[in-house]
Structure 1
Amino acid sequence: MVLAFTLALSCKKKAVETDNLFKFRDYISYTTSGITSVASPIQINLANPVDGWEMGQEIADKIISIKPHVEGKLTVGNSHTLLFKPDEHLEPNTEYTVTVKLNNIYKNMPDGFNNYTFQFKTITPSFNVVTNSIQSYSKEWQYLESVIKSADVITLEDAKILVEASQNGKTLPLVFNELNESSKHFEFKIDSIHRFLDDSEVFVKWNGTRINADNKGENTINIPGRNHFTIVDAEVIQSPEQFLSINFSDPLKKQQNFDGLVSIQNVKNPRYIVDGNVLKVYPDSKLVGNIQVDVFQGIKNTEGFKLKKPFSETIAFEALKPQVRLISNGTILPNSQELKFNFEAVNLSAVDVRVIKIFEDNILQFLQDNTLNSNNTYDIKKVGRRIAKQTIPLQTAAENTGKWKAYSIDLSKFFKADAGAIYRVELSFNKNYSLYDCDAVAGTSNSETDDYYDYYEEENYGESYNDVALEDEDLREEQYWDNLLYRYKNYTYNWREEQNPCHDATTTSVKLYLKIYWLQT
């Protein structure tokens, strides 16, 4: 008897072991990590300068290896920074493993420190196609202003393939703004739209296959007939100033009085600006909630014809999203008893204030790699120290008006400024401080039919190395500044939700750094 056995073997991708940055802190201070753009160089910051390295110098030695393999050039950013610039964009939605051969950089490396391995992942491709206002060349020909918004940098050539439009079965030309060869944002117009005697439709289709994105879909835009003077769309624009954009089928006559022809509930003295087919109506006060809007038949187009039918609709005016902005961009402090720091905030109950001091002896070291407006968190850690942290209450929910308010903080209550030092002030907020009414916009999302998953990353590198289990973020931050942790914050990444104040991608990953540097004299 012969027994036959079938052995099924399943192959599973072996997980790559990466090195702990804290363990290698004497040799590596920073590397590219987390989610990064396909267009970004791979950066490696060494803890110590390397003799003989000059800025821009190309390194021919095999100091790094990358998997999957990438062709490119390794250059010196400065005496302790390496930049690998790929010849072409990296592959999207791909995890890269980089090994730095430290024994080829430094001599006499101890056992276990010859190589340092780290990983990062590139952004998953995704995009939106947004159609905006219809504008007119003439009575018969129009165009539709549009934009492609991408999760990551794509080429102009690829952007042109993502979308197409047609009218009555005829393909319409797309005219792109070709200012940038690569970008996340491409403006274009759907051109040569023929305005027939009767109403017609423009079909817009998009497909992300070209950039390996899952997006696909279509939209239909109604094009009123030549003799049909009507309102096509009305939407609220919130920034930089709130206004109601009313898109007409025809270009409007500029020299006409709109008073009494446009009525917005609770608005007494609006301002009007005509922009081709669009009438911009600026209310005299900030509007929030569902507002009744009426447009009457007296409005004329450039040919003197009046609007055929009145327009009446309830339009949602959303509240401003939680934000913070500076009133000034920096100053040199004289010796004074008060150090006033002025800023504005909207829809926030509080902000966190951090003050980081760059010591006088370290200023030259800091300025070797940074400007005073630098956003580099890791470089400042080498030369500075957080000396103050405070949560500043701003207002209660009952006091909130939904409008920008000015605030002032006396920093002299938090620290005593030393002559010659530089101070950086950071303002940040989280979801718990938001007074934005998320229930009022529940169910609203920026997502389309495709699934774009959140990417969550724990940033408290080093805990496993120190065998420290800290739940308190304040304690983790203290260890971070004591150089016992590499990072202490966690974040969620989802490009579609970056501007959604009710999503964790905004409240945990987008920390608003507002920097002011003072030089005490």
Structure 2
Amino acid sequence: MRKQLSPLALCSLFFVFFLAESCSKITKNEAYYLAISKYVYAYTSGAVGRTDAIRVRFVNPAVGSDQVGQKVAGNLFSVSPAIPGDAVWEDDRTILLQPTEPLPYGEKYTGTVALGKLFSGVPKEAKVFEFEFSVRELSFEVVAFGLRTQDASNLRVQQLTGHILTSDPVENTSVEKMLQAKQGNKTLSIGWVHKENNTIHEFYVNDVERGNVRSSVQLSWSGEPIGLDKQGNLEQMVPALDEFVVLSAVVSQKESQHVVLNFSDPILPTQDLNGLIRLDAYDGTLNFAIDGNFVRAYLSSRVIGEKNLRVEAGIKNVAGATMKERSDWPLAFEDLKPAVRLVGRGAVIPQ
């Protein structure tokens, strides 16, 4: 005769399973991280690219040299949901999982390492190490650098330069469909140079006409060719032929902090710009690099905060004509942010 469980027995059974499930979950408190830090040196965390490698690096060797290059046993390391590709021992203390195909944008993953099976004497709270990471969403940014003169002897023909930055590699042909440029009713042709594994896409809007009166170039873009619902536009002022002015001043916050100035005319490369371009309340010196319509002013020491950049009248273009009016440009300078942080909760292992 088949026995039936009473409601009380069912409740008791449910409680047992619930208790077992709860006990199996990892409590990530201070004791957990302190115990883990004695075995795990660094690991992939945060947002990663679709094709980035996943790594876990240990403090001490975990396998012998004969295991380097071999697959990691499934009961030692796993990722959920599964990632296509085999985890291998990159060296005697590093697990490497290189995806064999791009991962889905926005997907979240949990990695698990059985430290208790890799090392002896591991305390209970550190026997299983879990870490989380996700695939960053695809995004892009359009930046216009400014105008430059293609032929210094003919100021009528200009070129608008800039780039599109994508968070992950994308098809070049798709990026080239994202951008359109018009001057008045005229559609302008755009040239491209793709760099950095198809994440930097430089563009050159050709045949911008500089006439006797001011005009503008309308730059518009859409993310639809790369599967994103994002649109935007900007307007680039094109000065008249008799206007010799500063068009923009932008801070580059890189290690060699500098200001990029875009002039309407190519600048005379032999002139001394000291005193003609200066940063108010700055004790350091500025070193200048002239490249056609662009002047880069490099700071001898890093600045943080807001400063005013003054560009004096008197700067000369390649024809020897002098700029008639000075201009002031309020700029924000930032500290250099570290590209990679190592060790700790959510350390990112550099590639």
Q: TM class by shorter-chain length?
A: 0.5 to 0.7
Q: Which amino acid aligns with 2:132?
A: Q
Inter-partner Cα distance in structure 2 for 1:173 and 1:200 = 19
SS in 1 for 2:169: strand
CA–CA distance in structure 2, aligned partners of residues 262 and 114 of structure 1? 62
Identity of aligned residues (%): 19
Name stretches of at least 5 consecutive residues in structure 1 with no aligned partner.
1-14, 325-373, 379-458, 460-486, 488-508, 511-521
Task: State the match for 1:377 in structure 2.
Answer: 343
Structure with the larger RCO, 1 or 2 (CA within 8 Å, 6+ apart): 2
- Structure 1 residues 321 and 214, CA, compared in 2 at 3 Å: closer, same or farther? farther
Aligned counterparts of 1:216 and 1:244: Cα–Cα separation in 2: 28
Q: 1:34–1:290: structure 2 CA closer, same or farther, 3 Å change rule?
A: closer
Any idea what SS the aligned residue of 1:72 has? coil
The aligned amino acid for 1:203 is Q
Structure 2 counterpart of 1:311, from 318, 325, 329: 325
Give the Cα separation in 1 of the matches to 2:71 and 2:301. Answer: 58
Number of equivalenced pairs: 310
In the alignment, the residues of structure 1 paired with residue 297 and residue 37 of structure 2 have an alpha-carbon distance, to the nearest angstrom, of: 60
3-state secondary structure, aligned to 1:86 = coil
Looking at structure 2, the residues matched to 97 and 158 of structure 1 have their Cα atoms a distance apart, in angstroms, of 34
1:66-465 equivalence runs, <5 A: 66-99=79-112, 118-138=131-151, 139=154, 140-150=156-166, 152-155=167-170, 157=172, 160-161=175-176, 163-168=178-183, 169-178=186-195, 180-183=196-199, 186=200, 188-197=202-211, 198-209=213-224, 215-236=230-251, 245-256=260-271, 273-280=289-296, 291=308, 293=310, 295-296=312-313, 298-307=314-323, 310-318=324-332, 321=335, 377=343, 459=345
Distance 2:98 2:224 in 1: 26
> Is the CA contact 2:246–2:327 (under 8 Å) kept in the aligned structure 1?
no
Quote the residue 1:54 is aligned against: 67
**Structure 1 CA distance for aligned equivalents of residues 126 and 302 of structure 2:** 60
Using the alignment, how far apart are the partners of 1:112 and 1:276 within structure 2? 63
Task: Return the alpha-carbon distance in structure 1 between the equivalents of residues 259 and 321 of structure 2.
Answer: 23
Quickly say closer, same or farther: Cα 1:66–1:222, change in 2 above 3 A: same
* C-alpha contact 1:72 1:85 (8 A) present in aligned 2: yes
Amino acid at match of 1:42: I
Whether the aligned pair in 2 keeps the contact of 1:28 and 1:44 (CA below 8 Å) is: no
Offset at residue 161 of structure 1 (A): 4.9
Tell me how far apart the structure 2 counterparts of residues 239 and 26 of structure 1 sit (CA, whole Å).
33
Shift in Å at residue 259 of structure 1? 7.3
> Which range is displaced more, 196-205 or 287-296?
287-296
Shift of the 31–89 alpha-carbon distance from structure 1 to 2, 3 Å rule, reads farther
Residues 175 and 191, structure 1, Cα contact 8 Å, conserved in 2: no
Classify 1:162/1:104 alpha carbon distance in 2 versus 1 (closer, same or farther; 3 Å).
Answer: farther
Task: Measure the CA separation in 2 of the matches of 1:33 and 1:323.
Answer: 19
What's the CA shift for 1:123? 2.5
Quote how far apart the aligned CAs of 1:35 are: 0.8
Secondary structure of the 1:316 match is strand
Measured in 2, the distance between the counterparts of 1:277 and 1:129 equals 21
Shift of 1:223: 2.0
Name which of 43, 51, 72 aligns with 2:55. 43
Closer/same/farther in 2, CA of residues 157 and 56 from structure 1, 3 Å limit: farther
Deviation of 1:166 (Å): 0.7
Q: Distance in 2 between matches of 1:118 and 1:234?
A: 43
Do 1:126 and 1:215's aligned partners in 2 also have CA atoms closer than 8 Å? no
Give the Cα–Cα distance (whole angstroms) in 1 for the partners of residues 337 and 116 of structure 2.
47
Q: Distance in 1 between matches of 2:258 and 2:74?
A: 58
Work out whether residues 34 and 120 of structure 1, in 8 Å CA contact, stay in contact via their aligned partners in 2: yes
Cα distance between partner residues in 2 of 1:264 and 1:45: 46
> Is residue 148–residue 187 contact of structure 1 (8 Å, CA) maintained in 2?
yes
**Are residues 240 and 121 of structure 1, via their aligned partners in 2, closer, same or farther at CA, if it must alter by over 3 Å?**
closer
One-letter code aligned to 1:377:
V
Give 1:477's aligned residue. none
Q: In 2, are the aligned partners of 1:252 and 1:276 still within 8 Å (CA)?
A: yes
- The Cα shift of 1:173 comes to 1.5
Mapped partners of 1:267, 1:281: distance in 2: 13
Contact 1:172 1:192 in 2 (8 A): yes
TM-score with structure 1 length normalisation?
0.46
Whole-angstrom distance in 2 between the partners of 1:212 and 1:28 = 42
Question: Following TM superposition, by how much is the alpha carbon of 1:170 offset from its aligned partner in structure 2, in angstroms?
Answer: 1.4
Q: 1:72 Cα shift?
A: 1.5
Kindly state the Cα deviation for residue 20 of structure 1 after the two structures are TM-superposed. Answer: 5.0
Question: AA paired with 1:50?
Answer: V
Q: What is the rounded CA distance, in whole Å, between the counterparts of 1:27 and 1:279 in structure 2?
A: 51
The answer to whether the 8 A contact 2:146-2:262 is kept is yes
Stretches of structure 2 that go unaligned for 5 or more consecutive residues are 1-21
Contact kept in structure 2, 1:262 and 1:294, CA below 8 Å: yes
- The separation in 2 between residues aligned to 1:102 and 1:238, in whole angstroms, is 42
SS at match of 1:75: strand
Decide whether the 8 Å contact of 2:157 with 2:210 is kept in 1: no
